[in-house]
Amino acid sequence: MAREKGTIGILTGGGDVPGLNPAIRAVTIRALREGYKVIGIRRGWAGLTDLVPDKDADNSANYHELTEEVVNRAGRTGGTFIHSSRTRPSHLPKAMVPPHLADLYTDEINDITPTIKKNIEWLGLDYLIPIGGDDTLSYGHRLHQDGIKIVGIPKTMDNDVPGTDYCIGFGTCVTRTIEMAHTLRTSAGSHERFLVIEVFGRYAGFTALLPTMAGAADRCVIPEHPFDAEHLTEILSYDRNLHPSKYAVVLVSEGATMAHNDTMSFKGDEADQYGHKKLGGIGDKVAAELKRYSPKYNNGRRVNVVSQRLGYLVRCGDPDALDSIVPMAFGNLALDLILNGTSGRLVSVRNGTYDNVPLDVVVGTKKVVDVDKYYNAVRFRPFYHSFNRRPTFIMTSDI
């Protein structure tokens, strides 16, 4: 088929999730059949950062042309076969500046956007489709402001991209969390313990709240509301005493904080180019507090705790049904916009309907759980109000 309409670039940035490859497949197959050439930018924004604009240079690590054969094979798998990174071209550390640009960018932190734009032009990209969370998409918005035609696709298992009720990766994350929480119950029940499960969620508690609503846990604590550890112990002790096997389960978002200490729990001090430190450890802190307070609510006897961080187990492997279907729709929605000559948009799901919103929704705002509407902060559980005419995932984006 003659390719006459132009060239579309596609990249994936930030953490991997199941559903990225189906999205790449959907974009590529539709674009090829509509007469476009498709370029896969490798390693997110890093591919455009490291690219050497010379036809004789080896850029195989930075981009490659996508075909139906390649994407059909990859589309059945998890992760992203064009790879990902957390590179931020507007805030690139000197140590990350490619050797061929070392004389051009000499500051400790550099904005290499002029080079990124030149590389996009050298590749002949008419449109660029970044798939990512608000960090990856925020740089896409920057390029859009500079005249690059951008159509964004939301991806993050935390489901915290503003403007959409659903992000690629969220369905599989919820599915895996429910499955693993039920699996871990056998250990908690066998030893009559509290079960603390730490799940993803830096600023937003959707990955803890929705599985709890589905019965994966008795209680949950989320980043949007600091919690009192002793009160949580009292509530979980009540749950434990009601259960025939004498155990209780709580899901803890990795970004949750205790009322007496509002500092998030980090694995170390190193931050990525978007300023984020790696979270981890709040689950163990909650477990220690439950053990400490438990004698007060268990006739003087301590209750031991099983503490488990799910981590990458919910973001690896193949996508579930939803993360196979939604990326297909998102990819085709992106092509619909391109075929109409529209850019600067983010494809979305709003109240159960596919749509698109202005890309600028991803900058300056955070999508978090509306505590007053969805979370009973006294009882550490979701509100079970009327579900009549609510969308599938209950908690919508009000932005």
The answer on 177 and 55 residing in a single domain is no
The answer on 322 and 196 residing in a single domain is no
Active site residue 158: yes
The predicted structure's pLDDT at residue 387? 84
Q: Strand ranges (DSSP E) for the chain?
A: 6-12, 36-41, 63-65, 92-93, 109-110, 127-132, 151-154, 194-199, 219-221, 248-253, 266-271, 277-279, 305-309, 345-350, 353-358, 375-376, 381-382
Residue 393 lies in a domain: no
The answer on 321 and 310 residing in a single domain is no
> What is the number of structural domains in the chain?
2
CATH code, domain carrying 154: 3.40.50.450
Comparing 310 with 388, the larger pLDDT belongs to 310
The answer on 80 and 156 residing in a single domain is yes
The answer on 377 and 308 residing in a single domain is yes
| Overall average pLDDT of the 29-44 stretch | 97
The predicted structure's pLDDT at residue 23? 97
Residues 68-91 have pLDDT tens digits of 999 998 988 999 999 999 999 999
The predicted structure's pLDDT at residue 2? 46
The answer on 143 and 38 residing in a single domain is yes
The answer on 307 and 242 residing in a single domain is yes
Residue 390 lies in a domain: no
The predicted structure's pLDDT at residue 270? 67
Is the pTM above the cut of 0.75? yes
The answer on 229 and 153 residing in a single domain is no
* Average pLDDT score, the chain: 93
| Overall average pLDDT of the 283-287 stretch | 95
The predicted structure's pLDDT at residue 265? 63
CATH code, domain carrying 263: 3.40.50.460
| Overall average pLDDT of the 245-274 stretch | 80
The answer on 292 and 162 residing in a single domain is no
Residue 351 has pLDDT above 60, yes or no: yes
The predicted structure's pLDDT at residue 399? 59
Residue 391 lies in a domain: no
The answer on 250 and 268 residing in a single domain is yes
Which residue among 16, 50, 135, 158 is the active-site one?
158
Domain extent for 159? 6-168+317-362
* Of 68, 8, 1, 76, nearest in space to 40 by CA: 8
| Overall average pLDDT of the 173-202 stretch | 96
| Overall average pLDDT of the 364-375 stretch | 90
Residues 296-305 have pLDDT tens digits of 999 999 999 9
Comparing 182 with 263, the larger pLDDT belongs to 182
Residue 1 has pLDDT above 50, yes or no: no
The answer on 135 and 102 residing in a single domain is yes
3-class SS letters over 228-267: CHHHHHHHHHHHHHHCCCCCEEEEEECCCCECCECCCCEE
Residue 248 lies in a domain: yes
The answer on 231 and 115 residing in a single domain is no
Residue 387 lies in a domain: no
